[in-house]
Amino acid sequence: MTTPKQDMNAMGVLRGLESSGSSVRLRAALTIGTTPDPELVDTLIERCAVEPEFSVREMLTWALLRHPPALTVAKLTDELRSERAQARSQALHTLSKIGDRRAWPAITWALLTDADGEVARSAWRAAVVLVPPGGEPALATVLSTQFGRGGREMQLSLSRALIALGEVVMPVVRAAMEDLDPRVRAHAVATQRLAQDPDAGFEFAIEAAKRVVALGPTDEKGMTPGVDR
């Protein structure tokens, strides 16, 4: 049983999570993480769905990580069906940090291709962490459908996710390099170049890829015969 004093402290923490001051919300999340309480898991997850400040969301995630996966994973996977994009995105982010592969079946095609960019990016990162051994080729096939999507940051996120899966992604990358859409081709070429030379940077890789696509067909190494050598 909790004492009246403990109940009052818990109420104060809960009020802190709803404060208008981000620093107050941050301290409240820190307090919960420092002294984990299973009864507050639902509250943490609910707050993740609406918290506007990135630093506070990160602290909420940390607080959830301080609780056993047996208490958090199932609740977080339930959140993936939420109509709120931030709820889905934050749940995916937290699941990627927990790294419990029991969450893998909840990483659906719908999430990996979600219309909301932040949800999709979070799903890509989570999928790379949670995919079971042997599932990488199928995951790479789904991720390859997203080539050419969004701006630089989103394209970089996809490239990093694919590269993290290893050599098994190269067949789908090479296939995308022959796509009719020049954005898809450029993104695929940039991904291959980034895999070959991580230090080159994505901005350099994507600009080089655009030049390659403009010049014509590429060989299996992503180079234009007679130009790139």
pLDDT of residue 13: 86
CB-based contacts of 160: which residues, under 8 Å, 6+ apart? none
Residue with tokens 């007679």: 226
The per-residue pLDDT for range 90-142, each reduced to its tens digit, is 999 999 999 999 999 999 999 999 999 999 999 999 999 999 999 999 999 99
pLDDT of residue 123: 98
CA dist., res. 226 & res. 142, Å (int): 33
The per-residue pLDDT for range 36-87, each reduced to its tens digit, is 999 999 999 999 999 999 999 999 999 999 999 999 999 999 999 999 999 9
Half-sphere exposure of 215 (CA within 13 A, CB side): 16
- Hey, where are the domains in the chain? 131-229
- Structure tokens that stand for 203 in this block: 């901005």
Q: What is the dihedral of CA 164, 166, 169, 171, to 10 degrees?
A: 150
CA 74 to chain centre: 18
CA dist., res. 87 & res. 228, Å (int): 45
Q: What band does 148 get if pLDDT is binned at 50, 70 and 90? A: very high
Are the C-beta atoms of 29 and 66 separated by less than 8 Å? no
pLDDT of residue 229: 33
pLDDT of residue 180: 94
CA dist., res. 35 & res. 205, Å (int): 46
Q: What is this structure's pTM?
A: 0.85
The per-residue pLDDT for range 195-214, each reduced to its tens digit, is 988 877 666 666 666 666 66
